[in-house]
Structure 1
Amino acid sequence: MKETILDSPTVFSKDDILRVINNLPLAVAVIDADRKLVLANKMAGMFVKKEENLLVGPVVGAAFGCIHHKDAPEGCGFGKECLKCKLRITVNDTLENERGHFMVETPMTFNSIGRRHLRITTQPLKLQKGKAVLLSIEDVTQAKKYEHAKIEKEKLTVVVRTAGAICHEINQPLMAILGFSELLIDDICHGQVQKENIKEIKDQAERLAEITNKLMAITQYKTKKYLHSEILDLDAASSFVAVPPNPEKGKNDEK
């Protein structure tokens, strides 16, 4: 939570503040020491689909139409959800400690407009009747949806490239296995068995096992060019190190 500190806030009249905030492109409101809205600009009214004069008077949650403002019999600000509300926490801290907060992000659900993602900024004020908070609200819901869609697209790209790498890597030993299997079938039909072909099938099967081991040991995202696109570079992305064949084992197998 970013914050700024004002040593001695200037004392403003409501008319002075209203003239300024009505020209701002954000929803802006002024909240007094009792957590009530004492001023709201046109954008604040447009944000919650209310006339700005109807916002003035109630406490913040009730004024904006937070769905939880009636949760507790004591009123807005006392419900279970209110205790976790970043808007409430931020406004209270600014009132009590005269400390501003900059671009605090939080989700919030309203009766009139549903669930929105907000970016709020507060600054301490001194009105002629005492402490207050200047609150600005930026609705970043669409930006968050775009950001989420972008992340999902990036995830899909990774999946597609990984799938391409798997197909590319596995197809090669599979083609070899199929080819040598056909040769064996032909040989068997003629009453012959070729040791070399059987060994090649075994080697390609072991290569398939090595590919799956590499897939399970991926530790980073590395790609390589393939045709007109890119695929995961399995060797560079995996921490798996293949054990070289044991020449002694090969001699024993021949005996």
Structure 2
Amino acid sequence: MSDKLLQRIKELESELQRHQLSERQLEDSNDRLESLLYKLPLGIVIIDFETQKILDVNPLALSTFGCSLEELVGKKCTDYICPADKGRCPIIDQGLSLDRSEREVITFTGERIPVLKTVIKDEIEGKVVLIECFTDITDKKRADEEHVKREKFQTVVEMAGAVCHEFNQPIQVINGYCGLLIDDMEINVESKDQIEEILKAVSKMGLLTRDLMNITGYETKPYLNSKIVDIKRSSAKLNEVEKKFVDR
């Protein structure tokens, strides 16, 4: 065997070894990437760009949807992800390469879960796909709602304090003058009855200011086409008898 042939064989063997090493490195890289994707604290869904069918889902996404991989793969993405945006996909229909926005996913039981979702267009093994990553923001939404409710409550408390301050002095004046009029021996019975009705109304106003001063919550009730603060339900002084009456 000639030296040139031996040299060529060695070159081919070396090239084959490099090729095998590259394949192993690529496989290791793919394994690490797949492991990383499956361990990330994000729901990940891979979707066929052409058919919009789900190709793969990581465990966290499956847990969110509440189903098995077999039940989800092959389904249209819009049946479970962004159902309100059929025909308006930022990537497929609007031509964007990246989308990050608040959306909803639908579980197999029909529950709607708010999520923060990021979508990118990519290519895997020669197939154009959408890689969708999402995180459940239910707790964040609940915290935001509680924050808004606390702000409304603080506004109600401040308003109640101002109203009580403005009401108390006129109520005391009316009570005082009505008391003097009733004690007047020359006033007739009919006038006394009318003054007592005024005192009853003033007494109700006093109870109202008491409730306003003791507001500890934020409750509303329907009023015409809107809602107003339910002072009775919001007051800390609401006793059990009053509660039963209000709940009727």
Aligning the two structures, in what range does the TM-score lie when normalised by the shorter sequence? 0.5 to 0.7
Alpha-carbon separation, structure 1, partners of 2:78 and 2:86? 12
Residue identity opposite 2:185 in structure 1: C
2:62 aligns to what SS in structure 1?
helix
C-alpha spacing 1:16/1:98, structure 2 compared with 1 (3 Å): farther
Match of 2:45 in 1: 29
Backbone CA RMSD of aligned residues = 3.3
Deviation of residue 121 (structure 1)?
0.7
Number of residue pairs matched?
A: 160
Residue identity opposite 2:136 in structure 1: D
- What's the % identity of the aligned pairs? 26
- Structure 2 counterparts to residues 232-251 of structure 1, below 5 A: none
Q: Specify every segment of 5 or more residues in structure 2 that has no aligned partner in the other structure, as ranges.
A: 1-28, 188-212, 217-248
Q: Deviations over 1:20-66 (max 9, x none)?
A: 3112101001112221222211111111122335433332145x4x7
Indicate whether 1:20 and 2:18 are aligned. Answer: no
Greater relative contact order structure (CA < 8 Å, 6+ sep): 1
Instruction: Name the larger-Rg structure.
Output: 2
Q: Contact 2:78–2:86 at 8 Å: present in 1 too?
A: no
1:134 aligns to what SS in structure 2?
strand
Correspondence for 1:50 among 67, 89, 103: 67
C-alpha spacing 1:57/1:92, structure 2 compared with 1 (3 Å): same
Deviation of residue 16 (structure 1)?
6.9
Residue identity opposite 1:132 in structure 2: V
Match of 1:137 in 2: 134
Alpha-carbon separation, structure 1, partners of 2:54 and 2:32? 16
Indicate whether 1:85 and 2:46 are aligned. Answer: no
Q: Specify every segment of 5 or more residues in structure 1 that has no aligned partner in the other structure, as ranges.
A: 1-12, 67-80, 192-225, 230-255
Alpha-carbon separation, structure 1, partners of 2:133 and 2:124? 17
Alpha-carbon separation, structure 2, partners of 1:28 and 1:17? 13
Correspondence for 2:147 among 145, 150, 156: 150
Residue identity opposite 2:173 in structure 1: A
Match of 2:174 in 1: 177
Deviation of residue 15 (structure 1)?
6.0
What TM-score results when the alignment is normalised by the length of structure 1? 0.52
